[in-house]
Chains A and B, each alone.
Chain A
């Protein structure tokens, strides 16, 4: 998925910029660590100064001056409108539908945007790879008004059948999600390093709606473990602007823990 090989930005940067653009000013956003946190902080600096960042450590309205390494770095509490306990975060703020946008990622995703963050392999008890687990994801997927998924696209990650359903997107497709009585609408956008996928309004199967500059439909299909369908209105994502790129790079440069990031 070599996008931008002759451009002056990377596929990872394009993915982060595309995720930031999906966050509108004034939205309340539940932020996980890693790319979602980077994208949310980028959006707040470029086009959405009123974006409200909620980290699951209970920091509501955090405005970190630099990128934290964890969801509980001190900079988040120091810059927050309010710091609340974890029970309150999930019960009072997430559960009743007060959060507009939730960010999720996973090791595996299927065509109905169900996510696996638990185990790889056929057996839960003897997994090939033990992943971190659910964290806040099942309830974020259920209760945020909408969910953005950000993942690198590859046949190993975008699979026909996920090994474990940790968090539900559209279940078995169609109106299956409605059966669970979730408050939120579910995943509305899947942003990858190749392009953007959105659920078909009827079948809820993910279809390719955008290709990032430098990528082709064939690239996207090769990176997908199911037969990926493109929208008839397939568009190209506008490339990162100079402001988006410079702001993103400055953020990455100041990321906490960065100075020894090469250790592993």
Chain B
């Protein structure tokens, strides 16, 4: 296990109180802890976990820690599986994938994802497949404490016959036929942000994706951050998540690489291009993971 060394003092260990009648967990405050401690405390075998970030702020370091801790049978939830889930899938951590677009953006296929679906390597992968609009609305319903969301979507698409979490409902006011999608309430959400303050309040900015919804929909949440600051400077358009909506904060500079943190780093586009060759072959992939993730 790595010691990040940035912040080893655990201020408050929050207790997650789970009452089946209360959708939102009672969180008192975020604990600031090293990444390995936070992942160990939050992620269990068999959990449904959402590591979100729409191209920007993808929490790669947290995924690598999950791989190092050897979690298995995970349901991976994410709009765009991206290289981060290609790695988790290829390392045999996943049993099921809930997603809407599984490619390497601007480059091509996710080879580990394809190998799992097409050939069952290293494990067969069950799919629960949506569109972006459907996934975004499922998170919003989960964050809102509603059982489903409604949208104009999926009409005429064969997705409706493959995915149980898509149904058709009739509007009680206009009698229009609309799509209903069931809420997503992952066991754990993990996101990356630019800053947290010493009390565990988090601020992120730039392309903000569905991270706010994912954190508020999940039963437990971890935020990795570029840096800890004494006081957050309010920024126009930023997403602020108060400490009491989060369980753990871990300081992990460059924890989104090869994704990026606006204002701190640039997207490593050359790595995304290089991933195509690294991931195409099972052995090359394993060797890369040994050298760059497991051995770190």
Residues of A within 8 A of B (CB): 33-34, 56-59, 68-74, 76-77, 82-87, 89-91, 94-95, 118, 124, 126-130, 132-139, 142-143, 164-168, 171, 180-183, 256-257, 259-261, 263-264
Do A58 and B209 have beta carbons less than 8 Å apart? Answer: yes
Q: Name the A residues within 8 Å of B208 (CB-CB).
A: 58, 83-85
Min C-beta distance of B266 to chain A, whole Å: 6
Question: What are 5 of the A-B contact pairs (CB < 8 Å)?
Answer: A69-B272, A71-B55, A72-B207, A181-B155, A261-B273
Q: Name the B residues within 8 Å of A130 (CB-CB).
A: 102, 113-114, 117-118
Q: Would A181 and B177 be within 8 Å (CB), given that A77-B56, A130-B114, A263-B277 are in contact?
A: yes
Do B209 and A57 have beta carbons less than 8 Å apart? Answer: yes
Q: Which 6 pairs of residues, A with B, have the shortest CB-CB distance?
A: A72-B55, A257-B269, A132-B103, A135-B101, A168-B156, A70-B105
**Contact pattern, B 252-292, Cβ under 8 Å of A = 1, otherwise 0:** 00000000101000110110111011001000000000000
B38-95 contacts to A, CB under 8 A, are 54-56, 79-80
Q: Does B131 contact A (CB under 8 A)?
A: yes
Do B156 and A133 have beta carbons less than 8 Å apart? Answer: no
Alpha-carbon distance A183/B176, docked complex (angstroms): 13
Min C-beta distance of A99 to chain B, whole Å: 13
Q: Name the B residues within 8 Å of A91 (CB-CB).
A: 133, 136-137, 140, 151
Binds A, one of B25-33, B157-165, B184-192: B157-165
Min C-beta distance of B172 to chain A, whole Å: 17
Instruction: Name which of A72, A171, A260 has the most chain B CB atoms within 10 A of its CB.
Output: A72
Q: Name the B residues within 8 Å of A257 (CB-CB).
A: 106-107, 269-270, 272-273
Alpha-carbon distance A213/B136, docked complex (angstroms): 43
Q: Name the A residues within 8 Å of B260 (CB-CB).
A: 74
Q: Name the A residues within 8 Å of B140 (CB-CB).
A: 87, 91
